Amino acid sequence: MTPEPTELITGIRELSTQTDGAPRLADAALVVEGGRIAWIGAASAAPAADVRTDVGGRAALPGWVDSHTHLVFAGDRTAEFEARMGGQPYAAIGILTTVSATRAATERQLVAAATRLRREAEAQGTTFLESKTGYGLDLASEVRLAQVAASVADIVTFLGAHTVPPGVDRRDYLDLVTGPMLAAVAPHAQFIDAFCEVGAFDVEESREVLEAGRAAGLGLRLHGNQLGFSGGVRLAVELSAASVDHCNHLEPGDLDALASSATVATLLPACDLSTRQPFPPARRLLDAGASIALATNCNPGSSFTTSMAFCVATAVLQMGLTIEEAVWAATRGGARALGLDTGTDAVGALRVGGRADLQVLDAPSVAHLAYRPGVPLTWAVWRQGVRSGAGRSPAPLSP
Ligand code: NIG
C-alpha cells in the first residue's frame, strides 16, 4: 500500500490543542497524514514530511464544532428580524413562514442553500457541524430535509417536533412524529430533538417524542428553557440526553441537575442577541460543574449566523467566560454535546491519532478571538487533513 503523503504544519506560535494534558503549546508544529494527526510537538523537534507549510507565527486550534444548527431551509425572514429590532417580541410562529418556503423549494435549491451556509461556516473555522430537520413537518418533507442535511452536515437531528403544522390535529401530529415519520427519517439521522417550550411542546409531549426516538435507536437532544420555564432542562437530564439547548431561564434545581449529569448545556449567544433574550447563566453553570457547549443555532428566524467566532467573543465579553472556557465550549464542548468527545471518531481536540480538523488564526493567540471581536481572523482551515480555502496573506505575522 502506498503511504499517504505527510504535511508538516509549522511556525505555530501558540497551539491550543484542547486536550486535557497540554492545552496550549508555544512554538509548535504538527504532522498530518491520511486525514489524521501523526505528530505534535515543538517546532524545533519536528520530523521531515513530504510537504511543509509554515503558518508564520500564527495561532492554531481545533476547528469549531457547531453542535446546533438548522441549516436546511428556504425563504427569507429579514422583515421579521427588522420588526423584532423595532420592538416586536420573538415568536416561534415564524417557523411556519420557513416551513411554507421550504416545502415549495426543490431539493436542488435546498442542497445549494445549505451547502452555501456550510462553506460559509467552514471559511470561518467550523470543521464539524450538526443540522436539524424541522422545516418540513410532513412525512415526505421531513425525509427530504433529513436527506439534504445528511449530504451537507456531519450529524443529522430529527426535529419533527418543532411545531404542530396548521390544520393538523395535535394528537394526530404527535402520532405521526413518533410513528411513521420517525420510522422514515431515522435511517438518515443520529439524534432526535423536540422544541420543549411554552407554546410549542410540553414536557409530557417532549418525553413521548424523545422516548420514541430512543426506541428507534437515536440519541437524544432537547430545546429547553429558551423563552420561559418549560421544564426542558429537567426532562433532558432525566432522560440522559446528550444535550439541552438554550437554557436561558433556569428553574430551581436545574443548575444542580445539570452539574450532576452528563447532559451538556448548549448555549446559543447569537440567538440570545437576535431574540433579545437574557443570556443563560454561563458562569454559574461552569462554577457549579456543568459542561457547556457554544453553538450558532444558525437558522433564518432566531439566529442567522454561521460564525462560531462571534459566539466565542460574545461568551467572553458578555457572559463572563474566560477565553479558554469559551474555546473549549466551542470545540470539545460541542463534541461532547454530540457524543463525540472520545473514541476514534472524536472531534474538537488536536491529539495524535485524532482527526486533523484545525484552523489557523491571523493572530498570535486565541485570546484575539475576543480581544478583536468582529474581525474575521480565520486564516486557514484543514478538515480531515485537507486544506480548504487559500488562506489570506501568506506573509508571516509581524512580531
Ligand atoms: O432554536 N426550536 C426552535 N428553533 C429555532 C427557531 C426557529 C425559527 O424561528 O425558525 C431556535 O431558536
Alpha-carbon gap, residue 170 to 163, rounded angstroms: 10
Cβ atoms of residues 282 and 261 within 8 Å: no
Per-residue confidence (pLDDT) for residue 247, from 0 to 100: 97
Instruction: For residue 116, give the C-alpha cell.
Output: 452555501
Q: Could you tell which of 68, 102, 196, 299 is best to mutate to test the pocket of ligand 1, judged by most ligand atoms within 8 Å of the CB?
A: 299
Q: For residue 54, give the amino acid letter.
A: D
Domain locations in the chain as residue ranges: 6-62+348-387, 65-337
302 labeled part of a ligand binding site: yes
Nearest alpha carbon to residue 128 among 370, 375, 358: 358
Phi and psi of 36, rounded to 5°? -125, 165
Cβ atoms of residues 318 and 112 within 8 Å: no
Per-residue confidence (pLDDT) for residue 23, from 0 to 100: 75
Residue 301 Cβ contacting ligand 1 at under 6 Å? yes
**DSSP assignment of 205-227, as one string?**
HHHHHHHHHHHTT-EEEEEESSS
Q: What class, spelled out in words, does domain 6-62+348-387 have in CATH?
A: mainly beta
Cβ count within 10 A of residue 336: 26
Residue 299 Cβ contacting ligand 1 at under 6 Å? yes
Alpha-carbon gap, residue 129 to 137, rounded angstroms: 22
Per-residue confidence (pLDDT) for residue 390, from 0 to 100: 47
The structural architecture, per CATH, of the domain 65-337 is Alpha-Beta Barrel (3.20)
Distance in Å, CA 268 to ligand 1 centroid: 11
Distance in Å, CA 95 to ligand 1 centroid: 7
Residue with cell 416551513: 99
Per-residue confidence (pLDDT) for residue 71, from 0 to 100: 98
List the chain pLDDT tens, one digit each, 399 residues: 677 899 999 999 999 999 997 778 999 999 999 999 999 999 999 999 999 999 999 999 999 999 999 999 999 999 999 999 999 998 878 999 999 999 999 999 999 999 999 999 999 999 999 999 999 999 999 999 999 999 999 999 999 999 999 999 999 999 999 999 999 999 999 999 999 998 899 999 999 999 999 999 999 999 999 999 999 999 999 999 999 999 999 998 999 999 999 999 999 999 999 999 999 999 999 999 999 999 999 999 999 999 999 999 999 999 999 999 999 999 999 999 999 999 999 999 999 999 999 999 999 999 999 999 999 999 999 999 999 864 556 677 765
pTM metric for this prediction: 0.97
Alpha-carbon gap, residue 71 to 49, rounded angstroms: 38
Q: Where are the beta strands (DSSP E) in 34-175?
A: 36-42, 51-62, 64-66, 126-132, 155-161
